[in-house]
Amino acid sequence: MHIHTVKRGDTLWELSQKYNVPIEHIFVANGFTNQSPLVIGQAVIIPTPSGGHIHKVLVGESLWKIGQHYGVSLQEIVKVNKIHNPAVIIPGQLLSIPIAAKPIIEVNTYTEKFGEYGVRLINDIGDYLTHLSPFSYRIQPNGSLSPIDDAAIIQAGYEKRATPMMVISNYEGGNFSPEIAHAVVADPAVQLIVIGNILTIMRQQRYVVLHVDFEYVPPADKELFNTFLQRLVDTLHPFGYLVSTALAPKLTAEQAGTLYEAHDYEIQGNIVDFVILMTYEWGWSGGPPRAVAPLNEVVKVLNYALTVIPPEKIIMGMPLYGYDWTLPYVQGGKWAPSVSSFEAVNRAAKYGSTIFYDEPSQSPYYHYYDKEGKQHVVWFEDARSVQAKYDIVKTFKLRGVSFWVLGVPFPQNWFVLGENFTIKKLV
């Protein structure tokens, strides 16, 4: 594929002619309809034929540099083109570039959509999933679990060979509860009840993986939390179940703050089968405007994580959404509503905005004035921003990616994902 940045005067018909691609293919790759607008600065996926690529050698290029660009080895290019001396290539020379083998990764998505609508969503994108994580079974202080109506989406997941991952959380009343986390990790008797309930639900609902999303665990409970996780693993592994955890995005082992301190990267990385790093929400609804998952910040988290957790145990979190902030930002003021990629582009078109791309964060954004004259800034995700993140997954050889949250329309993401990776299936 090629990602084209829209310029003034571009039309979809002209892009199809320029790249010699049927316009219908462009519509499918981007989820466009006949009403879809084009906005200056917008990223548009141009699908290309899958039979390889012809590269015209430029002045100063080497075979190694060309191979790096396309993700194939120098030896593969030499073999396909029957080159006798790899050190000698001529500007203007045409080279056949073989298709690079796609890395195999695991892909998870959380979902809060159940019933018929949830099933439709899974039917749409289930081919891209290794795991499906209904959010969530909420633990009560007495060890009981609040039920969720997950049967239909689990069945839909199995039909797409997406492994169901049971999520337990200390989420209550719109927030994560430190008190509930403490009640569980500090009391072995409560843990026995929790584990018994987990086993019952996993058997009944055909879950394969347990995912522990405990956030804002009291810092003093760090060791108790680690012990609880070890107990879960020791109990579930003999039944053939996997165990994973969600980790806050830390930069150092000693990072201060209730969100971070009880999340012990090194110990959890040793105990559980894999972790999901919540590498998003730098820009968040109640905070100042910025990219939701700025790549420069995500990489800092990965650089730390990889010092204590092997890459084959790390799944990188990614957002499917953005936010629309009203300016000037006022701390404690009205929170920014979330927007999908579709909504963001349509809003830019409605208000005549130009979309810009921030290089450090590898994220698109734009400004507009609403009908009341108030200025807004919108940060969101597009084909360029997710491609940049997938390049990092390849560079660090991570286990995979995890999305928050299903139900936010983003067709470009799934196309780009499929072009970059082969999705591992466990069932």
Question: What tens digit of pLDDT does each residue of 288-314 get?
Answer: 999 999 999 999 999 999 999 999 999
The dotted CATH code for 2-46 is 3.10.350.10
With 70 as the cut, is the pLDDT of residue 50 above it? Answer: no
3-state helix, strand, coil in the chain (%, to 5): 35, 25, 40
Higher pLDDT, 32 or 53: 32
- Give the architecture (CATH level 2) of 53-97: Roll (3.10)
Contacts with 310 (C-beta within 8 Å, 6 or more apart), sequence order: 269
The answer on pLDDT for 174 being more than 80 is yes
Instruction: Read off the tokens for 16.
Output: 């199809």
Q: What pTM was computed for the model?
A: 0.92
**Using 50, 70 and 90 to split pLDDT, how confident is the model at 51?**
low
Residue 56: pLDDT band (50, 70, 90) is confident
Highest mean pLDDT among 47-51, 87-91, 376-380: 376-380
pLDDT for the residue 420: 94
The C-alpha angle 313, 319, 323, rounded to 5 degrees, equals 155
Measure Cα distances from 401 to 108, 119, 386, 423 in Å: 6, 21, 11, 10
Q: Which residue has the tokens 């069945």?
A: 155
Catalytic member of 215, 261, 297, 343: 215
Start and end residues for every CATH 3.20.20.80 domain found in the chain = 104-423
- Nearest in space to 273 (alpha carbons), one of 316, 243, 300, 235: 243
Match domain 104-423 to its CATH number in 3.20.20.80, 3.90.1300.10, 3.65.10.10, 3.40.50.300: 3.20.20.80
Contact 283, 364 (CB under 8 A): no
The alpha carbons of the chain give a radius of gyration, in whole angstroms, of: 23
Q: Which whole number is the average pLDDT over 8-12?
A: 96
Residue pair 407/401 in contact by the 8 Å Cβ criterion? no
Give the pLDDT mean for 311-329: 98
Kind and range of the H or E element at 172? strand 171-172
Whether 145 shows a pLDDT value over 80: the answer reads yes
Q: Measuring CA to CA, which residue among 200, 255, 192 is closest to residue 228?
A: 192
Q: What angle do CA 159, 162, 165 make, to 5 degrees?
A: 125
pLDDT tens digits, 92-132: 998 988 887 899 999 999 999 999 999 999 999 999 999 99
**Mean pLDDT score of the chain:** 96
- Which of the 8 DSSP states describes residue 365? E
Residue 215 designated active-site: yes
Structure tokens at 224: 């108790």
Q: What is the pLDDT of residues 396-408, one digit of tens each?
A: 999 999 999 999 9
Side-chain-side CA neighbours of 202 within 13 Å: the count stands at 25
Domain span(s) for CATH 3.10.350.10 in the chain: 2-46, 53-97
Name which of 16-25, 110-119, 126-135, 165-174 the model is least confident about: 16-25
Element (H, E) at 60: none
The dihedrals phi and psi of 358, each to the nearest 5 degrees, come to -85, 115
Q: What is the dihedral of CA 355, 357, 358, 364, to 10 degrees?
A: 70
Residue whose C-alpha is closest to residue 161's, from 129, 203, 133? 129
| Weakest-pLDDT range from 35-49, 174-188, 269-283, 345-359 | 35-49
Q: Which two tokens stand for residue 105?
A: 């990764």
Which amino acid, one-letter code, is at 100? Answer: A
Residue 351 is which amino acid?
A: Y
pLDDT in tens, 63-103: 998 988 787 889 989 998 999 999 999 999 989 888 878 99
Strands 137-139 and 363-369: unpaired
With 80 as the cut, is the pLDDT of residue 225 above it?
yes
CA dihedral 247, 252, 256, 259 (to 10 degrees): -10
| Close Cβ partners of 360 (under 8 Å, ≥ 6 residues apart) | 294, 295, 296
Q: Please determine, for residue 196, whether its predicted confidence score (pLDDT) is greater than 80.
A: yes
